[in-house]
Amino acid sequence: MPKLALLALLAGALAAQNIFEPRVNAAAPVPILKQVGIDQRLNASVPAALEFRDETGNAVALRAYLGRKPVVLAPVYYGCPRLCTEIMTGLASSLKAVGFRPGREFDVVAFSFDPKDTPEHAAAKKQKFLQRYGRPETAPGWHFLTGDPSAIRALTEAIGYRYAFDGKSQQFAHASAILILTPQGKISRYLYGVEYAPRDIRLALIEASQEKIGNLLDRAMLFCYHYDPADGRYTSAVLRSLRGAAALTLLSLGAFWIAMFRRERRRELH
C-alpha cells in the first residue's frame, strides 16, 4: 500500500474513535499523530491563577470564571478551518436542548491553544457562535480567550490535552473534546467528539454542580446512567446491570450443565 494511502487510513481510523483530528494532513509525518490525544486528569484542578485575554482584550485570570457555577471548557483554536468549528457548532447545537442557560446555571469558556490568535479573532468567533446558539441574552455566559505560550502550555498540560503543529499544512493536529469543570475548577468530565448528546451535557453539569442545579427527574436519571470515562459519555446503568445479570445467568447454566454431564459420566462408568 502506498505510504500516503497508509497514513490516510491511519488518520481515518483514529477519527472513527472521535479522539483525534479527523482531517490530519495525510502527508504529515506519523510522529505528529503520536503527539496528539487526551490524558484524562479527572478531579485535577485547572491553574486558576493563569492569565489570558478575553474577547475584549482585557487581561483575566481563570479564577474569574470559577467559584459560582460549573464551566464547559472548550480547547480550540480560532484559525482552525474545520474541526474546531465543528466542536463549537456541536456544542452550541446541543446546548439549545439542554435546558440550562450559559451565564445562569453554567459558563462556557473556549480558549485558543494557538498563541497567534488575538482578541479580535476571539470576538469574531464569539459573535458567530452566539448567532448559532440564537439566544443573544446569554452573551455574558460565553467567554473566548487567547493567551501567551506559557499560559496555554500550563493549561493544556493541566487538562491532559496534547496537540501538535504541522509545519507543512500550517495547521494543528489535535483532539476533539470538551471538558466540564466544577465551580471549584476541578475536572469533572470529558466529553469526546464533535456532537454532544444534550443528555450527557446536562447530567455532567448536574454532577459537576453537586446536584445544585437540575430537578428530581435529573437526579433519578443519574441513577439510571453511568459516566464511562473510556467513551467520554453516559451509558445506561440499567442496561449494564441487565447485561451483567445475563452473563451471570449463562455462566450459572453452563456450570450446572457441566456438573450434570460429569455426574452422568460417573454413573455410566460405574
* Whether 177 and 244 share a structural domain: no
Indicate whether 270 and 150 sit together in one domain. no
For residue 182, the surrounding DSSP H or E stretch is none
Both 73 and 137 in one domain: the answer is yes
pLDDT at 225: 72
Cβ atoms 74, 87 nearer than 8 A: yes
Indicate whether 14 belongs to any domain. no
The Cα-based distances of 155 to 18, 65, 148 in angstroms read 22, 14, 11
- Are both 183 and 253 inside the same structural domain? no
Average model confidence (pLDDT) across the chain = 83
pLDDT in tens, 200-225: 999 999 999 987 776 656 566 656 77
10-residue averages of pLDDT along the chain (270 residues)? 40 42 46 90 97 98 96 97 95 95 97 98 97 96 98 98 93 96 97 94 94 66 74 67 47 59 64
Distances (CA, A) of 238 to 218, 224, 241, 245: 16, 6, 5, 10
Residue range of the domain that includes 251: 237-270
Task: State how far the alpha carbon of 12 is from the alpha carbons of 20, 23, 160, 217, in Å.
Answer: 9, 8, 23, 39
- Predicted local confidence at residue 234, as pLDDT: 82
Instruction: Please tell me the predicted confidence (pLDDT) of residue 211.
Output: 74
Q: 216 and 253 share a domain?
A: no
Determine which helix (DSSP H) or strand (DSSP E) holds 74, and give its type and residue range.
strand 71-76
254 and 123 co-located in one domain? no
Same domain (yes/no): 247, 143: no
How much is the pLDDT for 212?
A: 76
Instruction: Examine the domain organization and report whether 68 and 138 are in the same domain.
Output: yes
| Cβ-contact 205, 105 below 8 angstroms | yes
Residue 189 phi/psi, 5-degree rounding, is: -150, 150
Q: Could you tell me which of 25, 65, 57, 47 has the C-alpha nearest to residue 168? A: 25
Instruction: Give me 151's grid cell.
Output: 499560559
Give domain status of residue 9, yes or no: no
User: Cα(13)–Cα(86) distance, rounded to whole angstroms?
Assistant: 19
- Asked if residue 18 is part of any domain, the answer here is no
CA–CA separation, 93 and 140 (whole Å) = 18
Under 8 Å CB-to-CB from 199, ≥6 apart: which residues? 221, 225, 234
Choose among 198, 197, 201, 220: nearest CA to 209.
201
Total number of domains constituting the chain: 2
